[in-house]
Chains A and B, each alone.
Chain A
């Protein structure tokens, strides 16, 4: 469903991604790992269409369409979702109002009837129940005053409600204590589905103790330098990322 070829991306004129190749099939879970500065977040942001990330070369095809030609909102309506590493606070807008606006924007685009507040509440309650969470965050302004764990939980809740076909998780595990990490991982596992693929960007292997990926990639200096099964994550955990540097210097 996603085919990335030779993707080059620059931020503020500096090239961060230097030829990424990545193929994700329906229902697969891919982990993209790498040290700080390797370009993990750049890959996630570029796939979601952040305007500050400029694609200078390469292609990305999503469900047969040129992903890079689409605006961020068009990507979202087409089923692409990015769980932000740093979720943004939205002043004065409650979580439920925000989510309903998003759901209705997508429904409208698909020619479906918009949900009124009561219908939406029903959808929301069903979703919350399915991942085993309560509605304490729903009437608070989006991400405002949320703890780090609450923010990440909120991203996963949005994922659950918006039902994307390609979910990109950008360091969703960063800043979480072990309990919050388990909560988030548990919800993600519940949301795994045959028609939903995940790209999980992470620095550490620990999230992958709870979410078992199908494929693990190592991103280094803007390129995917190694791909393998779940065992690759354990190897990285044991060896760290320094061996990559040594290898890069040799090559």
Chain B
């Protein structure tokens, strides 16, 4: 195994070069994080949260911190194929913000959509207020590593009662090249203040098929009465490693909808966590993983009902072909006093091959007595009753299988409200599943 020392050394180089102009608080945050990462090391399958997912392929690869890329190879046509037409868009290449490929215009007064590096330079106090305040990196080695190398990513700030109608697109491109495999640590901060509203679409994609590692963290803060719609599309290269944390923190009467779709990567781990910190909060986690070959995707979700009268709905579907493996762990925590909690969770896994495998683990921790919590999970092949039903309506067996399989994806996509994104994802799902 490559020693964690490698990352500590890389951090020293990073701290003396790129990060040297940073404010003291940020350097302290980074120092604390690399120290914590060095203590924790890479997780092993002996740890409960990593039981089904070995990160040995990541730990054993000597990754180098991604350098400022040569963006001459990135064409606007490639970007347009991945984005949703006009509208505010931040583009990052190998974790570095590209002003040339981005455009941010037509935003309501006071709304900021910019690179985190820029925000740290121009308004560090506003970033300081939230950065690293929600992700518990003390027990999460990858989040700690991301925080140690925090430098760039997206910063979205929507002031009170401002509404951003157009989806804000954040595009993270990897351009794996001939050199040593690179790691990048995108760090995104989305803050929607009281009664504000915004939609953010994060897309992770590759131009090229080499080995690289994305280690992303996104923090989302929704103030009282605010609404944040977060879409996340992971379509990394087939040989990529993708580790990510999405952490949402919600105020009173706020709404957060997180949609997460995973298509790519050899090995993926995504932790999604939502904390309903004020009464009347509403949270949706809506996810899909479509795996084939030897892909492995692990979704660990946690919904923390810390206040009464909140509602959460979680829907995750997996479609697994060939020798792929899907892991889903869904934790629901209802804190003492979080009465009238209403929480529903479902995870359905469709196995298209006898060698595909899915692990589904719901975990309910309920410390209040007047709550409604339900969960259901399924793992298995297509329902023969449904197959007969479709055939009895005139569809051939192959068509019936395709349609039923497509339904697992369409069910999740159907909850998405951005029509062009839904259409884009629908095309990918159809291409993958043949419908």
Contact = CB atoms under 8 A, between A and B. Distances in A.
Interface of A: 48-51, 71-73, 75-77, 81-82, 84, 87-93, 98, 101-103, 105-106, 109, 141, 158, 162
Interface in B286-302: none
B393 A92 contact: no
Interface of B: 317, 348, 383-386, 388-397, 399-400, 403-404, 406-412, 414
A50 to B, nearest CB: 6
A91 B407 contact: yes
Given A92-B411, A93-B407, A105-B399, A82 B392 contact: yes
Q: What 9 A-B pairs have minimum CB-CB distances, sorted nearest first? A: A92-B411, A92-B407, A76-B394, A102-B393, A92-B410, A72-B391, A88-B389, A106-B394, A105-B394
A84 B392 CA distance: 10
B389 A90 contact: yes
A84 B389 contact: yes
A204 B296 CA distance: 54
B388 A50 contact: yes
A75 B412 CA distance: 33
Nearest to B383: A88
A90 B383 CA distance: 10
A48 B397 CA distance: 15
B287 to A, nearest CB: 14
B403 A76 contact: no
A73 B411 contact: no
B394 A162 contact: yes
A76 B392 CA distance: 6
B406 A76 contact: no
A81 B389 CA distance: 11
B385 A88 contact: yes
Contacts of B384: 51
B395 A91 contact: no
A167 B198 CA distance: 52
B228 to A, nearest CB: 25
Contact of B410 (A51, A77, A93): A93
Contact of A92 (B390, B395, B406): B406
Contacts of B404: 90-91, 93
Given A73-B395, A105-B394, A92 B414 contact: yes
B407 A73 contact: no
Given A71-B391, A88-B389, 11 more contacts: A72-B388, A73-B394, A73-B397, A77-B394, A88-B386, A90-B404, A101-B399, A102-B390, A102-B395, A106-B394, A162-B393
A72 B395 CA distance: 9
Contacts of B400: 73
Contact of A73 (B348, B385, B391): B391
Contacts of B410: 92-93
Interface centre among B383, B386, B388, B410 (most CB of A within 10 A): B388
Contacts of A92: 317, 406-412, 414
A81 to B, nearest CB: 8
Given A88-B383, A91-B348, A105 B395 contact: yes
Contacts of B397: 71, 73
Contacts of B386: 88-90
B389 A73 contact: no
B407 A109 contact: no
B369 to A, nearest CB: 28
25 contacts: A48-B392, A71-B391, A71-B397, A72-B391, A76-B392, A76-B394, A88-B383, A88-B386, A90-B407, A91-B348, A91-B404, A91-B411, A92-B317, A92-B412, A93-B406, A93-B410, A98-B390, A102-B393, A102-B394, A103-B394, A105-B396, A105-B399, A106-B394, A158-B393, A162-B393
B378 to A, nearest CB: 10
Contacts of B399: 101, 105
A106 B390 CA distance: 12
Q: Kindly name the residue among B395, B399, B409 whose own CB sees the greatest number of chain A CB atoms within 10 A.
A: B395
Contacts of A90: 386, 389-390, 403-404, 407
A72 B406 contact: no
A76 B408 contact: no
Nearest to B395: A105
A221 to B, nearest CB: 26
Nearest to B397: A73
Contacts of B406: 92-93
B391 A76 contact: yes
A77 B399 CA distance: 14
B417 to A, nearest CB: 15
A51 B411 contact: no
A134 B390 CA distance: 23
A71 B391 CA distance: 8
A84 to B, nearest CB: 7
A141 B411 contact: yes
A69 to B, nearest CB: 15
A141 B391 CA distance: 18
A141 B410 CA distance: 10
Contacts of B414: 92
Nearest to B348: A91
A141 B396 CA distance: 20
A150 to B, nearest CB: 16
B316 to A, nearest CB: 13
Nearest to B404: A90
A91 B399 CA distance: 15
A74 to B, nearest CB: 9
A78 B391 CA distance: 12
B396 to A, nearest CB: 5
A72 B408 contact: no
Contacts of B389: 84, 87-88, 90
A106 to B, nearest CB: 4
A97 to B, nearest CB: 8
Given A90-B386, A92-B408, A72 B392 contact: yes
A141 B403 CA distance: 13
A157 B233 CA distance: 38
